[in-house]
């Protein structure tokens, strides 16, 4: 199947796809703020730069798009017709990288939770899930520098 866009238009479409501050990520951040949680974004010193990090709770939240990370929902299971081999390999690499990053975070003592794009539909269930995550994670007192 040929692409419905010419190469310049396809390039413009792909350029608009963001990796940070996506709609699903902003939804999670708004819910966490409403629940009174404090968090940091995209910590570069942690494996995989988790989307949302709560250091005191040792909690890292990854917000994944279903297609890009190969979720087993209908949207994630969709196989593109154009450039099929490239996209199948790309999603497989993303999944392998996600698995390695999660294992490294857990080995470092972090709890990791992945929230999928398709789970954003039910805001009440999502809010309850985040509330449970916050309740289950102990809050450590802030560390003080000895100086």
Q: Would you say residue 14 lies in a domain? A: no
Residue 127 has pLDDT above 80, yes or no: yes
Cα 93 to chain centroid, rounded: 15
Nearest Cα residue to 60 out of 31, 27, 20, 101: 101
- What the block records as the tokens of 112 is 């990791």
Distance CA 18, CA 63 (A): 13
Nearest Cα residue to 114 out of 71, 75, 76, 58: 71
Can you give the pLDDT at residue 133?
92
Q: Which segments within 7-129 are labelled E, that is strand?
A: 40-41, 52-54, 59-64, 111-116
Distance CA 50, CA 57 (A): 14
- What the block records as the tokens of 42 is 């995209």
Domain count, the chain: 1
Task: State the pLDDT confidence band at 80, using cuts at 50, 70 and 90.
Answer: confident
| pLDDT above 70 as % of the chain | 88
Chain segment 102-114, per-residue pLDDT in tens: 999 999 999 999 9
Q: Would you say residue 114 lies in a domain? A: yes
Can you give the pLDDT at residue 142?
54
Q: Is pLDDT larger for residue 105 or for residue 24?
A: 105
Q: What is the CATH number of the domain that holds 88?
A: 3.40.960.10
pTM for this prediction: 0.82
Provide the 10 A C-beta neighbour count for residue 68.
16
Q: Would you say residue 107 lies in a domain? A: yes
Structural domain harbouring 65: 19-134
Q: Would you say residue 58 lies in a domain? A: yes
Q: Would you say residue 122 lies in a domain? A: yes
Average pLDDT over residues 72-97: 88
Q: Would you say residue 4 lies in a domain? A: no
Q: Would you say residue 140 lies in a domain? A: no
Q: Would you say residue 8 lies in a domain? A: no
Q: CB-based contacts of 61: which residues, under 8 Å, 6+ apart?
A: 28, 50, 51, 52, 53, 54, 112, 113, 114, 115, 133
């Amino acid at each position: 199947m040929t692409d419905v866009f010419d190469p310049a238009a396809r390039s413009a479409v792909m350029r608009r796809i963001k990796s940070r501050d996506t709609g699903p990520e902003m939804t999670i951040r708004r819910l966490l703020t409403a629940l009174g949680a404090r968090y940091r974004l995209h910590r570069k010193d942690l494996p995989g730069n988790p989307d949302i990090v709560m250091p005191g709770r040792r909690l890292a939240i990854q917000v994944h798009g279903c297609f890009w990370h190969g979720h087993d929902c209908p949207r994630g299971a969709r196989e593109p017709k154009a450039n099929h081999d490239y996209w199948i390999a790309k999603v497989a690499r993303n999944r392998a990288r996600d698995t390695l990053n999660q294992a490294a975070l857990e080995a470092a003592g972090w709890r990791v939770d992945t929230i999928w794009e398709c789970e954003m539909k039910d805001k009440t269930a999502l809010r309850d899930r985040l509330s449970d995550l916050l309740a289950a994670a102990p809050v450590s007192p802030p560390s003080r520098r000895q100086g």
